[in-house]
Amino acid sequence: MFIQHKQLKHLNVPAEKVAHLHEASSRVQLAFAGYPPQLCQAYLLQITGDQKALVVVAFYLTDSRCSIFFVPKFGELPLVDAEKVYEEGYSFVESMGFVLTETDFHLFSEQKKQSYWPALLICQPPQLHEIAGAEVNSKADEELKMLRLRSVKSLGRLFASM
């Protein structure tokens, strides 16, 4: 069972710790709590270190320009159990309508890993312009409320004059 890791906003993990990486071949329209429905990209990866592994399911929300992460309820696990949990993650992602493909990341040269990994959207911090966009949306909402209030007052005056 996978649960959302709400504190995790992007993956800041060295490329050499990524043992497996699957990526969705296309985007799917999803709706996550707190976000409008939008196209999402899905990833499934296994991060290893110190004889332990962490399986991560990641979704990049295209319009919101942010990532949402899911991890197993029990967190890290011994390497011997990682394959079973990875398959559960695979099923979890595909149950949402994605088709995952192997990236062969584990076969890349170290140089290619170092350039490929940080370029993934799930590895990049949320965009600063999202904060500015939220402020703009807040101002637009306020202006819309004022317009509605003026319209209601005008309509009231119109009916009173009849």
Q: What is the pLDDT, as a whole number, of residue 128?
A: 47
Cα–Cα distance for residue pair 64/36, rounded to 1 Å: 8
Q: What is the pLDDT, as a whole number, of residue 103?
A: 92
CA distances (Å), origin 78, targets 46, 81, 84, 89, 144: 12, 6, 11, 16, 54
Does 129 have pLDDT greater than 80?
no
Which one is predicted more confidently, 28 or 131?
Answer: 28
Question: Which whole number is the average pLDDT over 104-132?
Answer: 82
Q: What is the pLDDT of residues 7-57, one digit of tens each?
A: 889 999 999 999 999 999 999 999 999 999 999 999 999 999 888 999 999
Exposed/middle/buried for 107, CB within 10 Å: 0-12, 13-18, 19+? Answer: exposed
Does 132 have pLDDT greater than 50?
no
Look at the pTM and tell me if it is higher than 0.85: no
Which one is predicted more confidently, 61 or 140?
Answer: 61
Q: What is the pLDDT, as a whole number, of residue 124?
A: 87
Annotate 72-97 with b (16+ C-beta within 10 A) or e (fewer).
beeeeeeeeebeebbeebbebbeeee
Does 131 have pLDDT greater than 90?
no
Residue 32 sits at φ, ψ, to 5 deg, of: -105, 150
Domain boundaries, the chain: 2-124, 128-162
Q: What is the pLDDT of residues 62-117, one digit of tens each?
A: 999 999 999 999 889 999 889 999 999 999 999 999 999 999 998 999 999 999 99
